[in-house]
Amino acid sequence: MGSSLQFDAKLLEYVTKHTPVEPELFRRLREETEALGPISEMQISWIQGNLMQLLARLIGATRYLEIGVFTGYSTLAMATALPDDGRITALDIDENWTAMGKRYWREAGVDGKIDLILGDACTALEKMVNKAALPPFDMAFIDADKPNMPRYFDYALRLVRPGGLVIVDNVLWSGAVIDPAAGDENTAAIRAFNEAVMKDQRVYLSMIPVGDGLLLACKK
Ligand SMILES: C[S@@+](CC[C@H](N)C(=O)[O-])C[C@H]1O[C@@H](n2cnc3c(N)ncnc32)[C@H](O)[C@@H]1O
């Protein structure tokens, strides 16, 4: 086995210092979200947002699908990285959390790129796969309820073009995936997803320890 680093707080601080500075608007959205309390942990980090922006630029993404918006931080990161003709379809069930995001999207001048669909994501995705003329997405990000991960992954693969990228968040679930004492529904769902996806012949895969663990899947 090759060597790998243990990330303590100091090393993470070093990584943060050597990542482009989080834009002021993003920082304000992070702070307003943090004021919601412990639920704010659902928000992705700037290090992850910056990586996702880079990946979008690498593959020349113009169409991005997001499953799980919360207060809109990942959406904001992607909307500012996509070109002027970029389009985002963003799915979430919660009107209040996404309302916060909408204010920041507007302030950034990227709200015109974002179609927010409120309601159950599986219902919206089912409609999308049945829509004949829907152009394919270049990139998708799965960051909603964990038991539905396999369904979201399957929908995303049907909606993304060959060579497109599907990113799945939280695949390490704060380390619970390797904790034998952790047997809750979310941990079990993530473990099962991680095992099953290894055998999925439709994708090239890489699991990376950024944030809470990201799975990068390139559609063949
Ligand atoms: C982890 S948060 C998303 C974080 C977001 N990507 C960010 O950067 O801040 C998960 C979101 O999934 C949404 N969600 C949970 N179950 C859902 C469902 N069945 N359909 C649509 N959205 C759902 C929640 O409302 C929540 O906002």
Reference 126, options 103, 167, 148, 155; nearest CA is 155
Q: Is residue 215 part of a domain?
A: yes
Which CATH number belongs to the domain containing residue 101 in this structure?
3.40.50.150
Residue 27 burial (CB count, 10 A): 12
Ligand 1 centre from 143 Cα, in Å? 6
Ligand 1 centre from 196 Cα, in Å? 22
* pLDDT score, position 132: 85
Q: Is residue 4 part of a domain?
A: no
pLDDT for 19-44, tens place per residue? 999 999 999 999 999 999 999 999 99
Q: Is residue 16 part of a domain?
A: yes
Return the SS3 of 64.
Answer: strand
* Residue 75 burial (10 A CB sphere; 0-12, 13-18, 19+): buried
* pLDDT score, position 122: 98
- Counting the structural domains of the chain, the total is 1
Pocket (CB within 6 angstroms of ligand 1): 42-44, 68-71, 73-74, 91-94, 97, 120-121, 143-145
pLDDT for 97-114, tens place per residue? 999 999 999 999 999 999
Q: Is residue 1 part of a domain?
A: no
Element (H, E) at 47: helix 46-58
* CB proximity list for 172: less than 8 A, separation 6 or greater: 209, 212, 213
* pLDDT score, position 5: 73
Instruction: Report CA dihedral (92, 98, 103, 106) to the nearest 10 degrees.
Output: 0
The best mutation among 22, 94, 117 to test binding of ligand 1, ranked by most ligand atoms within 8 Å of the C-beta, falls on 94
* pLDDT score, position 64: 98
CA 83, 24, 98, 159 torsion-angle sign = positive
Q: What's the domain range around 190?
A: 9-219
Q: Whose CA is nearest to atom 16 of ligand 1?
A: 145
Residues 140/67, Cβ–Cβ less than 8 Å? yes
C-alpha–C-alpha distance, residues 194 and 213, integer Å? 11
Reference 142, options 189, 80, 201, 100; nearest CA is 189
Q: Which residues of the chain have pLDDT under 70?
A: 1-3
* Residue 25 burial (10 A CB sphere; 0-12, 13-18, 19+): middle
The DSSP symbol for 71 reads: T
**Two tokens, residue 115:** 């179609």
Q: Whose CA is nearest to atom 27 of ligand 1?
A: 70
Ligand 1 centre from 215 Cα, in Å? 17
Tell how far CA 63 is from the center of its chain: 14
Residues 142/167, Cβ–Cβ less than 8 Å? yes
